[in-house]
Amino acid sequence: MNDELKAVMAKAQEWLGPMYDEETRAAVKEMMDAEDKSALLDAFYRDLEFGTGGLRGIMGPGTNRMNKYIVAMATQGYANYLNKVAHDGGFEHLHDGQVSVVVGHDCRNNGRLFAETVADVFAANGIHVYLFESLRPTPEISFAIRQLGCQGGVNVTASHNPKEYNGYKAYWEDGSQVLQPHDVGIVKEVAKVKMEDVHFNGSKDLITIIGGEMDWDYLQAVHTVLIDQDVINRQKDLNIVYTPLHGTGRVIIPEALRSWGFRNIHVVPEQMVIDGNFPTVVSPNPENSEAMTLGMKLGTKLNADLVIASDPDADRLAIVCRNDKGEWVIINGNQTCMMFSWYIIANKKKLGKLRENDFLVKTIVSTELIKKIADKNGVTLFDEYTGFKWIANRIRMEEGKMNYIGGGEESFGFLPFDKVRDKDSPASICLICEIAAWAKDNGMTLYELLMNIYKEYGFQKETTINVVRPGKSGAEEIQQMMRDFRANAPKVLAGSKVVCTKDYQTLKKVEHGVESPIEMALGATSNVLQWFTESGLKVSVRPSGTEPKIKFYLEVPVAGFRGAEDYDDFNHRADAIVAELKKDLKL
């Protein structure tokens, strides 16, 4: 028996003790007794890392798995940190001097069990818990933290990950996912916790169940996103098909659309069933076209104008509309973000609602076309790191000085108002339907509007390549790839000279041979590299923070776009350049 297996066997042995339930002990014993120890090694070779965004992992027994014990230990560490900050006077407002939190969950298996475990541990540490009565969208958790004046919160969700996963997102008092220094502080506290340190059996008096009233308040807030009620009134019969992909948007999104004035809303019945096994899709990820198959099928039957989906925790959205040939096409995340940004600016300007201090936010890996749109219209644009906590941080930084009008990222997430501090699909879905209504009111489809934006600002294609490397060896390989790119950065990409390199780990930019600092919020660093070429190519590379993969984001501009008749040809031309980039990057 090698040293690694000995260490794993010793860790697993602890899980046979009385602190763990009979079902867990039996499952661990079975892995220990098996001739093939690979399952045991994967379940115990490391502790599931509580990172700056919380936890995410495959469900099951073990230290490298999502289960009620790992969730309880994480919550104990988070509770310790919250109480410590409160003791040190770090919170401006405490109700009767007591820390309070919001706890929610999505549709995933074990979601309710984990959420109730979280609530119990918080209460056992003297923290007042507002626990949602049942599953709710991620943005509503963020909204509730702000609405109730809480100091933090937890949402049990693995977003769009496969059914085997669950996760744990930690939030702070502004309703955003935790940022520095608190993220590091919580991570340190969680790392100290052992199972015997966890407090259970909290007072039920410290747990308040919330639901309908918060739904109402949230829907009222979503309604403030609406820009042009008149256009919706004229196009109230816009033919909309919606699917929640078995998740939390099931009730609240159709209700939000009705509150905006839309009257012709259809849902995909098979996917209105709440089910953490996601039986009708291979993966509940709106980025995957397969997840939209049933929606498009119903859209064809009903001759719908557009088909829309929210992911399981309803923070992200996907949009399908008809192209110039009448075929269904999925609007990708960059196009979605670009269209939102264009419409918000154009129609606020038209209605006299655009202000000098308005600003947009995008992530550094999202399309540069958004910057072109903002620059041409005199709107400030901030570039932030991937993850909506950074967009939320920018909103917080500019509060009282500037007015946030929207922000998004390439991975199908957008936030069109500041009453929530995370991606928000209910508000974004309502707004994209308003955009479709405006387009129809002006004799266009949503697709034709997209083509017009390309005509005005230039065509480019964005492609994301995910290189998956699971397990311990995979994580090491990904880190080695990043080291190699730093040591041997490309000088030419797809035949075009690299003129600018950005390294967000060192916060240094080298442009035309001149080095200068990169200024990012809070002076934060991130393991991201970017290369820009003479021809306008942009390549970004970063390891995923939540999954065993390294991601390459490619932006390929092609000049001379005239309209929809060019779209297929320009995509093919961009694909040829992408193929060259893949060879250069050895992908």
Query: How many whole angstroms separate alpha carbon 256 and alpha carbon 429?
Result: 9
Mean pLDDT of the chain: 95
- Worst-scoring range by mean pLDDT, 30-39, 44-53, 112-121, 135-144? 44-53
**How far, CA to CA in Å, does 26 sit from each of 15, 32, 266, 458?**
10, 10, 46, 61
Cα angle 259, 262, 266 (rounded to 5 degrees) comes to 110
3-state secondary structure of 165: strand
Name which of 346, 317, 343 is nearest 331 in CA terms.
Answer: 317
> CB of 383 within 8 A of CB of 263?
no
Q: Is 159 an annotated catalytic residue? A: yes
DSSP H helix total and E strand total for the chain: 18, 23
The amino acid occupying position 247 is: G
Average pLDDT over residues 94-108: 93
Band of residue 546 on the pLDDT scale cut at 50, 70, 90: low
Q: Beta strand pairing status for 380-384 and 358-363?
A: parallel
Domains of the chain, start order: 1-45 (no CATH), 52-210 (3.40.120.10), 218-457 (3.40.120.10), 459-584 (3.30.310)
pLDDT of residue 53: 79
> In this predicted model, what pLDDT tens digit does every residue of 316-334 receive, in sequence order?
999 999 999 999 999 999 9
> CB of 227 within 8 A of CB of 353?
yes
Percent of the chain predicted with pLDDT > 90: 92
Query: How many whole angstroms separate alpha carbon 15 and alpha carbon 25?
Result: 6
Question: Is the peptide bond prior to 181 cis by the omega test (within 30 degrees of 0)?
Answer: yes
**How far, CA to CA in Å, does 140 sit from each of 221, 253, 293, 400?**
10, 12, 27, 24
Query: How many whole angstroms separate alpha carbon 214 and alpha carbon 526?
Result: 36
Name which of 238, 565, 212 is nearest 430 in CA terms.
Answer: 238
> In this predicted model, what pLDDT tens digit does every residue of 430-443 receive, in sequence order?
999 999 999 999 99
pLDDT of residue 1: 65
Q: Beta strand pairing status for 152-156 and 128-132?
A: unpaired
Average pLDDT over residues 520-525: 93
Residues 6+ apart with CB under 8 A from 560: 566
Query: How many whole angstroms separate alpha carbon 2 and alpha carbon 64?
Result: 20
| Total Cβ atoms within 10 A of residue 276 | 20
Average pLDDT over residues 367-393: 96
Average pLDDT over residues 84-107: 92
Query: How many whole angstroms separate alpha carbon 577 and alpha carbon 554?
Result: 10
Cα angle 377, 380, 381 (rounded to 5 degrees) comes to 105
pLDDT of residue 534: 96
CA end-to-end span of the chain? 37
Query: How many whole angstroms separate alpha carbon 35 and alpha carbon 33?
Result: 6
Element (H, E) at 225: none
pLDDT of residue 514: 96
pLDDT of residue 51: 82
pLDDT of residue 286: 87
Task: Indicate the pTM of the whole model.
Answer: 0.95
**How far, CA to CA in Å, does 470 sit from each of 450, 541, 546?**
37, 18, 12
Query: How many whole angstroms separate alpha carbon 380 and alpha carbon 36?
Result: 58
Range list of H helices, 125-271? 138-147, 182-192, 212-223, 229-234, 249-260
Catalytic pick from 159, 310, 341, 411?
A: 159
Average pLDDT over residues 275-303: 95
Average pLDDT over residues 481-500: 95
> In this predicted model, what pLDDT tens digit does every residue of 61-78 receive, in sequence order?
999 999 999 999 999 999
| Phi/psi of residue 292, nearest 5 degrees | -95, 5
Band of residue 362 on the pLDDT scale cut at 50, 70, 90: very high
DSSP secondary-structure letter at 202? Answer: -
Average pLDDT over residues 173-195: 94
